[in-house]
Structure 1
Amino acid sequence: MLSDADVAALYDVLSPWNPALSPGDRFYDTWVMAAGSVLDVGCGTGAMLTLAREQGHRGRLVGLDPDRAALDRARRRSDVDWVEGTAAGATADARFDLAIMTGHAFQCLVTDDALRSSLAAIHAALRGGGHFVFETRHPQARAWEDWNPSNAVGVVAPVAGTDRALRVWHEVESVAADVVTFAGTAADPDGTVLHTDRSVLRFLAPAPLNARLADAGFEIGAQYGDWDRGPLTGTSREIVTVARRR
């Protein structure tokens, strides 16, 4: 079986942070490097803020995440503040220039109460005019239809200090209105299951998404359908949002 630490290490293999190769990572990196202070909500293993420091960012960097094993990996970098907690627990007195949620973490805010409390906390953590930048999958693209065992990927990941070949796949369990429940599985190449995580994501369309941002005190500065800042269209797979604190 995989330990929590193994799962955190596997995440870094599956989702490497590389602005040189990934348009999405490059989009966020530009925002981070231009901001004096940054709150990374759902920072995971901290790759984005770690790279920012390596690139010479001198301002305050804070990573917030409820996953202790992920934060243990993040804390290998000691010149970033790593805080265990949820978006709803974001500090209200820091006055950050920028708050960011990457990796579709915004979709983990499934209930109306979670959305309301999280957006309120992020709003309170920003200075006046500060920005909240995040992306969410556009429901029209029905991304979950590709989450099935036939799309399993093979990876080599550090497990208990030794590189090990694994197969990783996702499988949808239910789709109810705008909420999708699915399982993520890591297994040995022979199919022996080592770890299964169940996740629930919410797929908000632009209109209800923007209404909730407005209710929380944000105005939309820009909204894109791709990482090249193209407009939202009938074929967009992403909703990339730049919101400003009123």
Structure 2
Amino acid sequence: MVNQQQLWDEDAAAQYDAPGEGMFSPEVLGPTVEVLSELAGGGPAVEFAIGTGRVAIPLAAAGVQVSGIELSHAMISRLREKVGEGDIPVVQGDMTEASAGTDFSLAYLVFNTISNLLTQDEQVRCFQNAGRHLAPGGRFVIELWVPQLRSLPPGHGGTVEVHEPGYLLVDTYDVLHQHVISHHVRFGPELSDGRDARIERTPHRYVWPSELDLMARLAGFELESRWADWDRSEFDAESRSHVSVYRRSVG
């Protein structure tokens, strides 16, 4: 059993933010905030696994009233260094059951984070919890990667996903249980702790889009839109990720 509180500890929180780079870059955050702001439709939003506020802070700055749920005490502490509780209230707890209120127009869960829930049952309960937060007709948005099983060589259980100076990402798969472990290998003189290399591992349960849609239906949602990215580009068989918008049933 993975202890997520230990996984997302003080060290992880301290290393999480990378202003202006990667998922913190303007070309990533700009379209994300624009789409979420539009989908909120002037109503309040709740972010599941709000983390250090990567999306919530610029979304709030765009005029959306944002609340959050976050399991990690360390991530919340990092968020509190940037904004106060009065600006973005956060409930500490598990996104499958913790409550930040009701009658939200929008709930969202970005950057593959639903895969941090390591069983199908937990992922279904996440959808159900989103439904409890939303007003009738409210939307639940999930950003998630598409499993790259086609890239697995026959007889091999892993793929190299990223290789660049100072960083290597290797994913190893357990296809029987739909589990993948991401091995983040950082190396070179830029390491601040003096080591030659550092390895961090994060476990996930991967989900096919069709399975995600069934989870949504079980929780009273219908798929409204699906894009390959926040720029609303077309999702097709070659897409490596998707942004899926689900709408809670009115009846």
Q: TM-score, normalised by structure 1?
A: 0.79
Of the three residues 30, 37, 52, the one matched with 1:45 is 52
**What's the CA shift string for 1:180-224, capped at 9, x where partnerless?**
123334456278267644322222222222111111111000112
Amino acid at match of 1:21: E
Distance verdict in 2 for CA 1:241–1:141, change over 3 Å: farther
Q: In the alignment, is the contact (CA less than 8 A) between 1:141 and 1:237 conserved in 2?
A: no
Q: In the alignment, is the contact (CA less than 8 A) between 1:45 and 1:70 conserved in 2?
A: yes
Amino acid at match of 1:99: A
Match of 1:179 in 2: 179
What is the CA-CA distance between 1:145 and the residue it aligns to?
2.4
Q: In the alignment, is the contact (CA less than 8 A) between 1:226 and 1:237 conserved in 2?
A: no
Match of 2:76 in 1: 71
Distance verdict in 2 for CA 1:141–1:240, change over 3 Å: farther
Match of 2:14 in 1: 9
Gaps of 5+ in 2: 1-7, 152-157
Q: In the alignment, is the contact (CA less than 8 A) between 1:174 and 1:182 conserved in 2?
A: no
Amino acid at match of 1:67: S
Matched, 1:238 2:241: yes
| Identity of matched residues, % | 25
- 1:33, 1:184 → 2: CA distance? 32
Matched, 1:220 2:223: yes
- 1:169, 1:109 → 2: CA distance? 24
Q: In the alignment, is the contact (CA less than 8 A) between 1:99 and 1:131 conserved in 2?
A: yes
**What's the CA shift string for 1:108-161, capped at 9, x where partnerless?**
22212111211111111111000001111112476872346xx255xxxxxxxx
Aligned length: 224
**What's the CA shift string for 1:58-78, capped at 9, x where partnerless?**
53x112111211111111201
Gaps of 5+ in 1: 154-166
Matched, 1:201 2:209: no
- 1:227, 1:54 → 2: CA distance? 19
Of the three residues 19, 27, 38, the one matched with 1:21 is 27
What is the CA-CA distance between 1:46 and the residue it aligns to?
0.8
Kindly indicate which of the two structures has a greater share of residues assigned to strand: 1
- 2:24, 2:182 → 1: CA distance? 24
Q: In the alignment, is the contact (CA less than 8 A) between 2:139 and 2:245 conserved in 1?
A: yes
Q: In the alignment, is the contact (CA less than 8 A) between 1:141 and 1:236 conserved in 2?
A: no
- 1:83, 1:26 → 2: CA distance? 26
Q: In the alignment, is the contact (CA less than 8 A) between 2:109 and 2:143 conserved in 1?
A: yes
Q: In the alignment, is the contact (CA less than 8 A) between 2:37 and 2:64 conserved in 1?
A: no
Amino acid at match of 2:80: R
Moved more, 131-140 or 224-233: 224-233
- 2:97, 2:197 → 1: CA distance? 32
Distance verdict in 2 for CA 1:193–1:94, change over 3 Å: farther
Match of 1:115 in 2: 123
Match of 1:161 in 2: none
